[in-house]
Structure 1
């Protein structure tokens, strides 16, 4: 990805949906002048505490507080799959960049794992906000590319990458207790009895599927680069 963007040379990069600032800090270490924006207060706190070299502000899609063409490069890592209006948000990324836009989305995530845990715990699955048919897009590399082109990103190139994450079950459980993603949102809404059943179901699935103490979870992601005009 960095090769596609050219040499940093102190050029400016905006990380939209920067989370805890981990990737923004990596861009900064590579030589970019980085700013992050993150709408979630607790994530901003982690970024500011652990990665003070990155200026992280309170902002998020679909409206960013930057002028047209404010930065050289805009990056949005696994953000467009969470917003209420992917096309409007993608157009906003293009608006604030005078150069390249980089965006990623999941084409395969370990949601099956949490669906199995939820079913075994006999609790109702988390029903998050659903996109309308007009807003949704096919969660494939081609579908992601079509959505971005609809939003006005020209000459967008999308590649798909796959890997297996050998996850530490303890880390997965900490993420649930911390309210991360759909599984965390579900757990936060459960009463004490349902939480005990959910934890027991989690442990059963881990016992059945773990290999040498780790959970092999397959992932695939689409990486889109809309290059310089």
Structure 2
């Protein structure tokens, strides 16, 4: 459920208290695309702390969650003790072909090293439907604004090699999924407001979440102080009733592998 770049090692608790809430913004759209489970099977790939998997389980799906980061699985086990969560990652899942009625990957294909190979793997293990999301407007824009306020040079962010990358747009995502073997992928744009608390945002940075967290951890003490001061300035400018209403934009894609859909 995470955007690139940055290391995700050991950040389960920090992610759960911050960006997990942001990534919930796509849950209703994904649930509407796949419908209620009625006992059907679903695989959540890159499941993070298990929030989406638990939401699908509540909709009647028999859910399996795969998440490669142990600290994420530890949080999932505490929060959702009935959820089956195991290791495993794209582009080499341990499942057999067509193992699940549906497969979902929330904010995973935007940070894998080979998006088309990862999309093809999702398609391989699904027999009924596959759904996925990416950021089309990166959440990192906020931290670039913080750097600007602090007088620091923002990290440029990693990009994939040209032959592996794809345009981060509705059309670009649809084309990439098509090249990854998804039949007639249907993609739309989704916008929502994350009303983020300053505390949650700062905990994500101190916890080392994604690119901003990695950037902050690499700074010296003086520049960390400047970054924090820049953050406080942005909070003062953007806060409304104690929270920051931040617009985020994603592309949501689905392919129905059953011709009856």
Name the TM-score, length of structure 2 as normaliser: 0.84
Q: Does 1:109 align with 2:132?
A: no
2:67 is aligned with 1:42: no
Is residue 87–residue 150 contact of structure 1 (8 Å, CA) maintained in 2? yes
Specify which structure has the bigger relative contact order, considering alpha-carbon pairs within 8 angstroms and separated by 6 or more residues: 2
Is the 1:13–1:73 Cα contact (8 Å) retained in structure 2? yes
Question: What is the deviation of 1:182?
Answer: 1.2
Whether the aligned pair in 1 keeps the contact of 2:149 and 2:230 (CA below 8 Å) is yes
State whether residues 39 and 60 of structure 1, in contact with CA within 8 Å, keep that contact through their aligned partners in structure 2: yes
Superposed counterparts of 1:118-137, under 5 Å: 118-137=147-166
Q: Secondary structure at the match of 2:158?
A: coil
CA RMSD of aligned residues (A): 1.4
What whole-Å deviation, never above 9, does each CA across 1:35-62 have from its counterpart, x for those lacking one? 1111112111101121121111111111
- Structure 1 segments, 4+ long, off by >6 Å, are none
Judge which range, 174-183 or 12-21, deviates more.
174-183
Matches within 5 A, 1:7-86: 7-86=36-115
Q: Which runs of 5+ in 2 are unaligned?
A: 1-29
Cα distance in 2 for residues equivalent to 1:57 and 1:21: 11
Q: Is the 8 A contact 2:42 2:61 kept in 1?
A: yes
Q: Distance in 2 between matches of 1:22 and 1:6?
A: 17
| Runs of 5+ unmatched residues, structure 1 | none
Partner of 1:225: 254
The answer as to whether partners of 2:132 and 2:254 remain within 8 angstroms in 1 is yes
The residue number in structure 2 matching 1:145 is 174
Q: Choose from 118, 121, 124 the match for 1:89.
A: 118
- Residue 228 of structure 2 corresponds to residue 208 of structure 1: no
1:190 and 1:69 map into 2 onto residues whose CA distance is 46
Query: Is it true that 1:157 corresponds to 2:204 in the alignment?
Result: no
**Shift in Å at residue 195 of structure 1?**
1.4
User: Which among 187, 194, 201 is matched to residue 223 of structure 2?
Assistant: 194
* Structure 2 counterpart SS, 1:134: coil
Aligned-pair distance for 1:3?
Answer: 4.2
Aligned length: 229
Displacement, 1:214?
1.5
